A = this chain, B = another copy of it.
Amino acid sequence: MTGPRYTPLTETLPATVPFVGPEAQERAMGHAFRARLGANENVFGPSPRAVEAIRASDADLWMYGDPESHDLRHALADFHGIRPENIVVGEGIDGLLGYLARMLVDQGDAVVTSDGAYPTFNYHVAGFGGVLHKVPYTGDSEDPAALFAKAAEVGAKIVYLANPDNPMGTWRKGADIVKAMDALPEDTLLVLDEAYVEFAPEGTAAEVDIEDPRLIRMRTFSKAYGLAGARVGYALGAEPLITAFNKIRNHFGMNRSAQIGALAALQDQDWLAQTCANVAAARDEIARIAAENGLTALPSATNFVAVDCGGDGAFAKAVLDALVADGIFVRMPFVAPQNRCIRVSAGRPEDLEAFAAALPKALARARG
C-alpha cells in the first residue's frame, strides 16, 4: 500500500505545533495547574451578559450559525464606525491568519515578521510555503521602520506587526505606525495584529483609512472580552480584501453560540472597562512581585507582563520549568535576548498569590 499522495509542500512540513496546550502539560504532570497564567487568557472572564446570552442560545445549537455572521458584523461596523463590508469574522485571529496566508502566499513568497513574534503566524506562512524574513526586535519592541524596510528589500507580500507586541507587551503609538507606513511598498500587506489593543493606552490603535489596501487589522474576542474558548476573531480592512476571504473561508465554521456571545460581549463595554482595570491592577501586582524578587517587569500594554529574570535564556527557562513543576502555568519568549524573560498573564489575586509564593522557590531552584 502506497497510501495517499500528499502535495510536495505537505510532505516537507514538520508535524510540530505552534504551542503545546496547558492541558497536555497537566496530563504529563499528572496534576492540574494551580494558576493558569501562560496563554494570555483573560481569567477575569467574559461579561456575565455574554455568558447569559450564550447559555440562552445553547439549546439552539442544533442550528448552524449564520455563515455571514451578519448581526455581529453589523454591530462591529457600528462600533468601529465603518461598513460591514470592511469586516470579516472568523475562527479566532489564528483562523483568519491562516486564510490570509492562503490567499497571498505561494511557495517561495517572501514574508516579513519580527524574530520572536507570534509563532502561529509563522506556522501559517510556512504551511503555504512562504519564506520568512525575520527582523530583530529593537530593545524589546517590534520595529515598524525596520520591518517595512525589510519588506521593501525582499519584496514581501505580507509584513506582520503586533501592536501591542506579544510576547513582550511593548507598544507603539498608532500614529507612529501609520507614519512609518510611508515606507511600506504599496503591494505589501501590513497585518497589524491588535489582539491586545483594548488593554493599551489611548492612541495605540492605528487610525487609518479603512480602504487603504496596504493594511489589514486583526481583532479578537479572546483577550479583553474574555472569550478565548469561543473562537471569535475579526479582521478590518479594505472591502476587496475582506470580500476575498469569502473565496476560501469555511463559511459555516463559526459556533452559533459564540457569535451570539461575542455580540453580547461587545455590547457590555462597562464590563470591558472593568476588565481592563482588573488587568492593569494585576500588571502592577506582577511588577511588584518581580521587584520583590529582585527582577524587573517590563512595561506592558497587554494582559501579560514579561518579567526579566536577570540572566540568559537558559536561566529563564529554568525558572519557568520550576514554576511549571510547582503548578504555575507560564510561558516565555522563544528568541534571545527576549528569552531572558518569562511571560506572566494577568491573574486574579489568588492566581498572583500562588505565583508570588512560587517565584522565590523557582528562582532558588534555577540558581542552583
Contacts and interface: CB of A to CB of B under 8 A. Distances in A.
A3 B241 contact: yes
A45 B67 contact: no
B229 A187 contact: no
Contacts of A252: 19, 21, 92, 94, 120, 231
Contacts of A103: 4, 6-7, 10
Interface in A1-25: 1-10, 13-15, 17-21, 23-24
A360 to B, nearest CB: 27
Nearest to A230: B61
Interface residues of A, number: 90
B70 A248 contact: no
A258 B54 CA distance: 12
A64 B228 contact: yes
Interface in A257-283: 257-258, 261
Given A68-B24, A231-B254, A10 B247 contact: yes
Contacts of A44: 62
A166 B232 CA distance: 30
Contacts of A8: 106
Contacts of A311: none
Contacts of A213: 1-4
A338 B186 CA distance: 50
A336 interface: no
B64 A187 contact: no
Interface string A205-241: 0000000111000000010001111110000001011
Contact of A58 (B5, B43, B54): B54
A230 B91 CA distance: 12
A229 B62 contact: yes
Interface stretch (A34-42, A195-203, A313-321): A34-42
Given A3-B187, A213-B4, A46 B62 contact: yes
A95 interface: yes
A157 B27 contact: no
A21 B104 contact: no
A364 interface: no
A45 B189 CA distance: 44
A3 B246 contact: no
Given A1-B186, A92-B252, A45 B59 contact: yes
7 contacts: A1-B186, A6-B104, A10-B104, A10-B244, A45-B61, A45-B62, A94-B250
Given A36-B63, A39-B63, 9 more contacts: A2-B186, A3-B213, A43-B62, A58-B58, A65-B229, A94-B252, A95-B253, A127-B248, A230-B256
